[in-house]
Amino acid sequence: MPSDQTPKNELRFLDVSVETIIESARVIKAGGLVAFPTETVYGLGGDATNDAAVAAIFETKGRPTFNPLIVHTLDAGQAALIAEFDARAQQLATQFWPGPLTMVLKRRADSPLSLLVSAGLDTVAVRVPDHPVASRLLFEAGVPLAAPSANKSGTISPTAALHVATHFRDGDGLDILLDGGSCTMGIESTIVDLSTDDAVLLRPGAIAREAIEAVIGPLADPTDDGIKAPGMLKSHYAPSIPLRINVTPEERLKGEAYLTFGPDAPKRAALNLSIKGDLKEAAANLFAMLYALDQPGIRGIAVMKIPAEGLGLAINDRLERAAAPRDETPPKDRP
């Protein structure tokens, strides 16, 4: 498994064939990352059930926050193993899958998905791509793939393999780039949130709003309170017990659980995000450990200082939101 300690990998830029797709699936099952074509844009794919692979996606993209990622499945049947489909979702799946429609649905309680892929939310964004290479890769991998666009955060989405190559010339965590030609649509999927009673159009995209409304009726627009950027919805992010950050061993209160980081951390009554001080490992463990410590009878969670570099920025962003006062509405002016 690649980590901060291992030397940078070399990117393998491969033409599509049955053999290279099977090799890509092998790399994905081993926790690696593969860029692959879909009908919308190139995706940066990893095993959506593997926390470490999902953490590697965030690191490779250089994302400063943990935005939830879109999970790609082979078909509606595989999607139904990870998310709950109500009548609206079933109708839309029948009408538009495979295709560029992403639905935000409730995660199934028994979903094998990584918690990080939903950034700690109880929902998941799923879609079934309509592209022979993406479909074959999903079939061979046998797991759902978390796949945001295969570019560095904040840059234009890649619609050809060469675009992807410019972002990851030196690998940078990307193991294989499958060249499957240009994406036919070239714009991102439409995202509809069906996790509440009112369906919300979160992102306009390749499928027209009217086409969706013709199937399930009017779509609402996202409100200002942060649905567009779920990372800002504090209620979704905070554990039920209080959380304090940057707490030294001396400052820790009696009855508080201690979430630590690094080799020098105290070992008693603590969960360590990464004993070797690896931020990617810490990101992979973050949500699972917060859930584990969020127990009745525990006074609160004290978190040790996490270095503010690399994936530490996203970890700190997440922890700051969880530590913010609970009773106020989320600030709208956060980055």
Q: Which residues bind ligand AMP (CB under 6 A)?
A: 67-70, 104, 118, 121, 123-125, 148-149, 188, 191, 193, 202-203, 230
Q: CA of 333: how far to CAs of 109, 207, 223, 225, 329, in Å?
A: 33, 30, 14, 11, 12
Pairwise CA distance, residues 192 & 125, whole Å: 9
Residue 38: which of Mg ion, ligand AMP, none does it interact with, CB under 5 to 8 A by kind?
Answer: none
Residue 180: which of Mg ion, ligand AMP, none does it interact with, CB under 5 to 8 A by kind?
Answer: none
Long-range contacts of 163-167 (CB under 8 A, 24+ apart): 163/42, 164/35, 164/42, 165/11, 165/13
Q: How far is the CB of 312 from Mg ion (least distance, A)?
A: 22
Pairwise CA distance, residues 86 & 68, whole Å: 21
Place of tokens 């009548």: 87
Q: Which is nearer to ligand AMP, 10 or 122 (CB)?
A: 122
Q: How far is the CB of 39 from ligand AMP (least distance, A)?
A: 13
| Closest residue to Mg ion in the complex (CB) | 149
When binding is defined by CB under 5 A, the residue of 50, 114, 123, 149 that contacts Mg ion is 149
Q: Which of 181, 185, 201 is nearest to 193 (CA)?
A: 201
Residue 67: which of ligand AMP, Mg ion, none does it interact with, CB under 5 to 8 A by kind?
Answer: ligand AMP
Q: Spell out a b/e string for 182-204, using b for 16 or more CB atoms within 10 Å of the CB, else e.
A: ebebeebbbbbbbbeeebbbbee
Name 247's Cβ contacts closer than 8 Å, sequence gap at least 6.
Answer: 256, 258, 302, 303, 304, 305
Contact 192, 212 (CB under 8 A): yes
Q: How far is the CB of 229 from ligand AMP (least distance, A)?
A: 6
Residue 243: which of Mg ion, ligand AMP, none does it interact with, CB under 5 to 8 A by kind?
Answer: none
Q: How far is the CB of 139 from Mg ion (least distance, A)?
A: 25
Q: How far is the CB of 278 from ligand AMP (least distance, A)?
A: 24
| Cα 184 to chain centroid, rounded | 24
**CB atoms < 10 A from the CB of 77, how many?**
9
Name 329's Cβ contacts closer than 8 Å, sequence gap at least 6.
Answer: 225
189 lies in the binding site for Mg ion (CB under 5 A):
no
Q: Which is nearer to ligand AMP, 155 or 240 (CB)?
A: 155
Q: Which is nearer to Mg ion, 150 or 303 (CB)?
A: 150
Residue 202: which of ligand AMP, Mg ion, none does it interact with, CB under 5 to 8 A by kind?
Answer: ligand AMP
Residue 14: which of Mg ion, ligand AMP, none does it interact with, CB under 5 to 8 A by kind?
Answer: none
Q: How far is the CB of 302 from ligand AMP (least distance, A)?
A: 28
Applying CB under 5 A, the residues found at the interface with Mg ion are 149
